[in-house]
């Protein structure tokens, strides 16, 4: 599974909503679906059967077997989505993002114009888009990174994980030490590979392997075994494998007493 899988899933749900022809009707279906299956495990077949049962007129039209858009192909065929939504209206939302990015990318920062743009009122995807562009541009000039943190760090820290992970990756890739405690706190509180993996990779790719290893040493007992192995592989590819595995095999007996960085072997 990768990000492409999620994009394809989004397009399929969009397609189902278009079959209904009415947003309110589709919202009613979603509420009913959640109510019926909450606190249970479901598979794609459960969703589609409930969908066709909720809209019997669509079952009669055999929309599940519409040529070229068969549900079976949506679920099991390889390749790009069979149908993509029209996102042209999103250009009005992207324009302010591009404007702010250009302000942060200019050789001379225009503080007045930057502060005029209030990102606290933006939608999540707008902030994500801005942070993705800044992440791709990293490492940034030190003065830019400092002003970015001063402008947004507190605000972004109160937002969801999709936003925070991107900001913290920017922090790591720019070695911005004043915000590193937020990186550690994030890794201590999140156990999803989607969020922890990228941060561990960035930490180990830079000069902060010690922080990555110490944080993992203190939290590994709370992580799923597959995530632990994935992080261990990140360490093994970025340092002396024998030294890393020796450290990681010795699980902490008391996580209330943090180890010192000087006790962590991070020899390359």
Q: How confident is the model at residue 239 (pLDDT cuts 50, 70, 90)?
A: low
Q: Give me the mean pLDDT over the 189-215 stretch.
A: 89
What pLDDT does residue 154 have? 93
Q: Give me the mean pLDDT over the 135-153 stretch.
A: 94
Q: CB atoms < 10 A from the CB of 149, how many?
A: 19
Report the C-alpha gap between 228 and 248 in whole angstroms.
10
What's the whole-model pTM score? 0.65
CB 235 within 8 A of CB 205: no
Report the C-alpha gap between 14 and 252 in whole angstroms.
47
What pLDDT does residue 21 have? 87
In percent, the amount of the chain with pLDDT more than 70 equals 87
Residue 107 DSSP SS3 = coil
Q: Which of 191, 187, 188, 189 has the alpha carbon at shortest distance from 200? A: 187
Q: CB atoms < 10 A from the CB of 217, how many?
A: 19
Report the C-alpha gap between 57 and 61 in whole angstroms.
6
Mean model confidence pLDDT for the chain: 85
Q: Is the pLDDT of residue 265 over 80?
A: no
Distances (CA, A) of 193 to 2, 173, 190, 230, 231: 12, 19, 9, 8, 9
CB-based contacts of 40, cutoff 8 Å, min separation 6: none
């Amino acid at each position: 599974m990768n990000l492409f899988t999620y994009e394809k899933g989004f397009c399929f749900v969009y397609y189902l909503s278009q079959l209904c022809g009415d947003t309110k009707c589709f919202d009613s279906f979603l509420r009913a679906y959640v109510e019926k299956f909450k606190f249970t495990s479901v598979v794609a077949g459960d969703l589609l059967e409930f969908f066709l049962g909720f809209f019997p007129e669509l079952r009669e039209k055999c929309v599940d077997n519409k040529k070229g858009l068969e549900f079976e192909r949506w679920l099991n065929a390889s390749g790009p989505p069979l149908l993509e939504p029209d996102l042209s209206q999103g250009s009005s939302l992207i324009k302010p993002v591009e404007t702010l990015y250009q302000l942060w990318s200019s050789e001379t920062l225009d503080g007045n114009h930057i502060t005029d743009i209030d990102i606290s009122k933006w939608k999540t995807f707008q902030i994500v888009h801005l942070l993705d562009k800044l992440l791709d541009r990293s490492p940034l000039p030190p003065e830019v990174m400092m002003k970015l943190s001063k402008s947004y760090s507190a605000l972004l820290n109160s937002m969801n994980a999709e936003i925070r992970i991107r900001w913290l990756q920017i922090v790591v890739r720019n070695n911005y030490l004043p915000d590193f405690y937020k990186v550690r706190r994030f890794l201590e509180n999140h156990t999803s590979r989607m969020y922890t993996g990228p941060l561990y990779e960035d930490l180990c790719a830079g000069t902060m392997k010690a922080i990555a290893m110490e944080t993992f040493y203190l939290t590994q007992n709370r992580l799923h075994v597959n995530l632990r192995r994935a992080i261990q592989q990140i360490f093994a590819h970025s340092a002396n494998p024998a030294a890393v595995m020796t450290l990681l095999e010795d699980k902490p007996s008391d996580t209330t007493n943090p180890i010192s960085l000087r006790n962590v072997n991070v020899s390359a």
